[in-house]
């Protein structure tokens, strides 16, 4: 075992106040146990990028006062509705800066970060009010348009996060991480200065030596820390591994509707106990 | 099946089913149980086509390259049909998934635009659906444009809205006129009701037909096969519309 695989506390220590953190969407592998630990530690002023959208994770971090800003295509708990702490912060105007986006722009921006080029471009979006509230997004002329023709296209700054944080099914003892179909985890790891991953278990053997598994594995030189966290995505669904804890999520929605209720939720599930 | 037992959701599923005819690949986005049911019904009736991509479902997630793939495939023209909704929809087909009131100090805040600001431009058939049809939801002008209904000449755009379906009626969208046209009013409702409940101006023929009711065989397939299969993905919807108990939704893993 190398130093890549470590305790959850040691892994999370790499995420420092003020860092730009990119995280995964709700059902794909969200590091919820790590998130609870971050809140317990009192992390502050994170600049969160949801790739491309989030639900419970972003909502909890907003409610806990951990974020200076959030860039997101949406904060939604699915059938349960808009993230309550997100909505409350938007209405009160006292929470993190909300930088509204749209999913494929975030993907493209992190892909540009992956290539370390200054900007990404994408079709669509021209005529959306997102352009009014995102002065950092620009409409440029396609430099390769036919002579005499105008072809405007959206250009957005590349995103190069300080740290990527997600939950994956397994890693090996030397820190290679198997992520399956989650291409965005590759992109996140490639674009970010650091990558912190929690996993359900350790795989016996070297993932890169297994041709069937290697193609879905992020090599360890991108990975700063792996920590084992069984049911680490709880209460969210984790792909085919476990269903969401709907009873718990309903309780969250009920409590998090108010600031007082949200405090109670944190006391019960973050500060007093580690997990259900 | 009498109209009395036909819920608005089931009628909407049937209207959408008819609109998907001929599609090769239908993609389902976030929070979209009604389109999902219509798409899988179409697939079952079509002997396995169209392809239906539902990313939240392990069985029906056709993408192997992560969340970006839906958008890249749509940009290439591989996705024929997508569905969008919005807290507000206006008469020019603009949709609002962000906020009501001043953006910096909103009166109401919704999840966000998801992928709408892109997909509205590149998917040839975008079907809008809204379960609440009122002057609150169907407005003259949205407070925030997540995605515009049309674009000026010179702006790259291959797709956009073709219809808006609600519990009262079915509108078609006229891209040239950037306006909706009333196609049919659902059984038990009237043109007057639609006029009364719609905050935007729209075109209509002299006589507006009644929306056809779903065929009994289609309804049976929906209730007996499609709804139980999708219940684990949309447990609240399954409970509310099809009386499928939520406990049994959780234990179902077929979807």
pLDDT tens per residue, range A63-103: 999 999 999 999 999 989 999 999 999 999 999 999 999 99
**Beta bridge partner(s), residue B62:** none
Model pLDDT, residue B247: 66
Are residues A145 and A39 part of one domain?
no
Residue A110 lies in a domain: no
Facing A130 at nearest CB: one of B117, B235, B250: B117
Tokens found for residue B175: 């891209």
Are residues A126 and A34 part of one domain?
no
- CATH entry 3.40.50.300 includes domain B3-251: no
Q: How far is B44 from chain A (nearest CA, A)?
A: 24
CA-CA distance, B202 to B223, in Å (whole number)?
34
Stretch A162-191: mean pLDDT, rounded? 97
Contact: B61, A105; criterion CB under 8 Å: no
**CA atoms within a 13 Å half-sphere pointing along the CA-CB vector of A130:** 36
B35 vs A: CB within 8 A: no
The three-state secondary structure class of A114 is helix
Contact A67, A45 (CB under 8 A): yes
Residue A159's CB is within 10 A of a number of other CB atoms, namely 26
Model pLDDT, residue B50: 96
**Chain-centroid distance, C-alpha A224:** 16
Tokens found for residue B51: 């392809």
Q: Which of A141, A157, A173 is the last residue of a domain?
A: A157
CA-CA distance, A244 to A242, in Å (whole number)?
7
What is the per-residue pLDDT across A119-158, written as a single tens digit (0 to 9) for each?
A: 999 999 999 999 999 999 999 999 999 999 999 999 999 9
What confidence tier does A107 reach under pLDDT thresholds 50, 70, 90? very high
Are residues A70 and A44 part of one domain?
yes
- Give the CATH number of the domain where residue A51 resides: 3.40.1080.10
A181 vs B: CB within 8 A: yes
- What is the extent of the structural domain holding A131? 119-157
Model pLDDT, residue A239: 83
**Chain-centroid distance, C-alpha B230:** 16
The three-state secondary structure class of B162 is strand
Hey, which residues 139-178 in chain B have their CB within 8 Å of chain A?
Answer: 144-148, 151-152, 154-157
B99 vs A: CB within 8 A: yes
**Beta bridge partner(s), residue A97:** A69
Question: Alpha carbon of B89 to those of A43, A55, B161: distances in Å?
Answer: 39, 24, 11
What is the per-residue pLDDT across A186-209, written as a single tens digit (0 to 9) for each?
A: 999 999 999 999 999 999 999 999
Model pLDDT, residue B66: 86
Are residues A124 and A89 part of one domain?
no
Q: How far is B153 from chain A (nearest CA, A)?
A: 10
The pLDDT mean for chain A works out to 96
| Longest distance between any two alpha carbons in chain A, whole Å | 67
Are residues A221 and A149 part of one domain?
no
pLDDT per residue rounded down to tens, chain B (255 residues): 444 468 889 999 999 999 998 999 999 988 889 999 999 999 999 999 999 999 777 778 888 888 899 999 999 999 999 999 999 999 999 999 999 999 999 999 999 999 999 999 999 999 999 999 999 999 999 999 999 999 999 999 999 999 999 999 999 999 999 999 999 999 999 999 999 999 999 999 999 999 999 999 999 999 999 999 999 889 889 999 999 988 655 544 445
Model pLDDT, residue A176: 98
**Beta bridge partner(s), residue A153:** A140
Which residues of chain B neighbour A79 with C-beta distances below 8 Å?
A: 31, 234-237
**For the CA atoms of B166, B171, B173, B179, what is the dihedral angle to 10 degrees?**
-100
Which residues of chain B neighbour A185 with C-beta distances below 8 Å?
A: 66
CA-CA distance, A241 to B82, in Å (whole number)?
28
A25 vs B: CB within 8 A: yes
Let me know the angle formed at the C-alpha of A32 by A272 and A108, rounded to the nearest 5 degrees: 155
Model pLDDT, residue B252: 44
Say which range, A45-49, A91-95, A239-243, B75-79, has the weakest mean pLDDT. Answer: A239-243
Hey, which residues 140-169 in chain A have their CB within 8 Å of chain B?
Answer: 150-153
**Beta bridge partner(s), residue B171:** B164, B182
Are residues A209 and A171 part of one domain?
yes
Are residues A238 and A150 part of one domain?
no
Are residues A196 and A144 part of one domain?
no
Minimum CA–CA partner of A245 in chain B: B250
**Chain-centroid distance, C-alpha B247:** 27
Contact: A181, B65; criterion CB under 8 Å: yes
Are residues A173 and A73 part of one domain?
yes
Model pLDDT, residue A273: 63
**For the CA atoms of A95, A97, A101, A106, what is the dihedral angle to 10 degrees?**
-110
Residue A108 lies in a domain: no
Strand (E) or helix (H) holding A89? helix A84-92
Stretch A237-253: mean pLDDT, rounded? 93
Contact B70, B63 (CB under 8 A): yes
Residue A146 lies in a domain: yes
Contact B38, B11 (CB under 8 A): no
Domain count, chain A: 2
Contact A9, A36 (CB under 8 A): no
Residue A2 lies in a domain: no
CA-CA distance, B102 to B10, in Å (whole number)?
36
Question: Alpha carbon of B93 to those of A157, B9, B83, B139, B141: distances in Å?
Answer: 29, 22, 13, 10, 9
Are residues A166 and A240 part of one domain?
yes
Facing A91 at nearest CB: one of B106, B157, B246: B106
CA-CA distance, A82 to A185, in Å (whole number)?
25
Are residues A199 and A64 part of one domain?
yes
Model pLDDT, residue A42: 97
Pure H helices in B112-215: 116-122, 191-197
pLDDT over 80 (residue A10): yes
Are residues A232 and A127 part of one domain?
no
Model pLDDT, residue B232: 86
Model pLDDT, residue B60: 82
Q: How far is B148 from chain A (nearest CA, A)?
A: 6
DSSP state for residue A91 in the 8-state scheme? H
């Amino acid at each position: 075992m190398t130093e890549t695989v470590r305790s959850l506390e040691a892994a999370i220590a790499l995420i420092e106040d003020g860092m730009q953190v990119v995280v995964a969407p709700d059902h794909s592998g969200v590091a919820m146990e790590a998130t609870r630990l971050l809140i317990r530690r009192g992390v502050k002023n994170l600049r969160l990028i949801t790739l491309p959208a989030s639900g419970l994770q972003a909502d909890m971090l907003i409610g806990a006062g951990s974020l200076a800003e959030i860039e997101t295509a949406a904060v939604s708990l699915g059938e349960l509705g808009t993230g309550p702490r997100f909505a409350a912060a938007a209405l009160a105007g006292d929470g993190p800066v909300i930088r509204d986006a749209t999913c494929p722009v975030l993907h493209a921006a992190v892909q540009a970060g992956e290539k370390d080029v200054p900007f990404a471009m994408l079709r669509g979006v021209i005529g959306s009010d997102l352009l009014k509230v995102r002065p950092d997004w620009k409409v440029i002329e396609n430099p390769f348009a036919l002579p005499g023709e105008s072809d405007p296209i959206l250009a957005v700054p590349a995103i190069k996060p300080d740290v990527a944080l997600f939950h994956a099914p397994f890693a090996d003892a030397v820190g290679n991480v198997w992520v399956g179909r989650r291409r965005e985890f590759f992109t996140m790891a490639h674009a970010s200065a650091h990558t912190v991953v929690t996993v359900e278990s350790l795989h016996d053997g070297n993932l890169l030596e297994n041709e069937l598994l290697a193609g879905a594995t992020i090599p360890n030189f991108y990975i700063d820390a792996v920590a084992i966290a069984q049911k680490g995505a709880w209460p969210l669904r984790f792909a085919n591994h476990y269903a969401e804890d709907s009873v718990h999520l309903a309780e969250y929605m009920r409590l998090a509707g108010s600031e007082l209720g949200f405090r109670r939720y944190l006391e019960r599930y973050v500060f007093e106990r580690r997990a259900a | 099946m009498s109209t009395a037992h036909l819920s608005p959701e089931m009628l909407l599923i049937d209207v959408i089913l008819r609109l998907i005819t001929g599609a090769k690949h239908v993609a389902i986005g976030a929070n979209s149980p009604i389109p999902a049911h219509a798409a899988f019904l179409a697939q079952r009736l079509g002997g396995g086509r169209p392809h239906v991509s539902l990313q939240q479902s392990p069985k029906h997630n056709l993408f192997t390259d992560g969340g970006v793939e839906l958008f890249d495939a749509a940009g290439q023209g591989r996705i024929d049909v997508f569905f969008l909704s919005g807290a507000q929809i206006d008469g020019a087909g603009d949709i609002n998934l962000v906020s009501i009131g001043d953006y910096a100090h909103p009166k109401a805040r919704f999840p966000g635009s998801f992928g709408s600001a892109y997909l509205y431009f590149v998917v040839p058939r975008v079907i809008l659906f809204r379960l609440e049809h009122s002057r609150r939801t169907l407005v003259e002008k949205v407070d925030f444009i997540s995605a515009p209904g049309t674009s000026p000449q010179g702006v790259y755009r291959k797709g956009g809205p073709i219809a808006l379906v609600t519990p009262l009626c079915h509108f078609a969208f006229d891209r040239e006129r950037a306006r909706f046209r009333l196609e049919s009013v659902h059984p038990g409702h009237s043109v007057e009701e639609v006029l009364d409940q719609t905050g935007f101006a729209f075109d209509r023929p002299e006589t507006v037909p009644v929306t056809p009711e779903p065929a009994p065989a289609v309804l049976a397939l929906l209730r007996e096969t499609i709804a139980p299969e999708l219940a684990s993905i949309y447990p609240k919807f399954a409970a509310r519309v099809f009386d499928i108990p939520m406990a049994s939704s959780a234990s179902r893993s077929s979807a």
